[in-house]
Amino acid sequence: MNIFDRIKQDHDEAREVIEKLKASTPRAEKTRRQLFDELKLEMWVHHKVEEAVFYSFLRETKDMHGEAMEAYNEHHMANGVFEELDTFPVDSEEWGMKFKALSELVTHHMDEEEKDFFPLAKKLIKPDMAKLMGERFDARKRVVLAALQPLDVKAEMEKA
Ligand SMILES: [Fe+2]
Ligand SMILES: [Fe+2]
């Protein structure tokens, strides 16, 4: 899968989880917590690997330096709001309000990447490079996600 399709795949998955969270009620505390934790980790890893694989190249180009820096900045903001939201109980009113704002921020960013940045980036990233970036994105994301899973120390001790 090329980098554009691979990023779009992550975005579509994130959009689905965001919709589920928006449709959830404060009473569905456990589901909310679980979906939110999943989205937070997914998005954090998505942002970091996207920066390492995609934007690190684009930021060095004349044509897309500005867009790339904007993306780094929006990732930084979104990651910050995810952390902040973690400090509110998921069944509180503040959480609902803040999640709405966060979902707008994240959705706007993903739409902007797909609609505005991808067409420009396709002029700089030719198909063979896009394919390589897509493969690296996938492989790196897998490693980072695995590394960030909570350690089941008891199970690991039994194996040792
Ligand atoms: Fe992004
Ligand atoms: Fe993205």
Measure 129 CA to ligand 1 centroid, in angstroms.
19
* pTM for the whole structure: 0.94
Measure 145 CA to ligand 1 centroid, in angstroms.
17
- pLDDT given at position 160: 84
- pLDDT given at position 124: 98
Measure 106 CA to ligand 2 centroid, in angstroms.
9
Residue list, CB under 5 A from ion ligand 1: 50
Measure 14 CA to ligand 2 centroid, in angstroms.
10
- pLDDT given at position 127: 98
- pLDDT given at position 69: 98
Measure 153 CA to ligand 1 centroid, in angstroms.
33
Nearest 5°: phi and psi at 63?
A: -70, -30
Measure 129 CA to ligand 2 centroid, in angstroms.
18
Q: Which domains does the chain show, CATH number per domain? A: 3-148 (1.20.120.520)
Measure 154 CA to ligand 1 centroid, in angstroms.
37
Low-confidence ranges of the chain (pLDDT < 70): none
Among 99, 55, 101, 98, CA closest to 75: 55
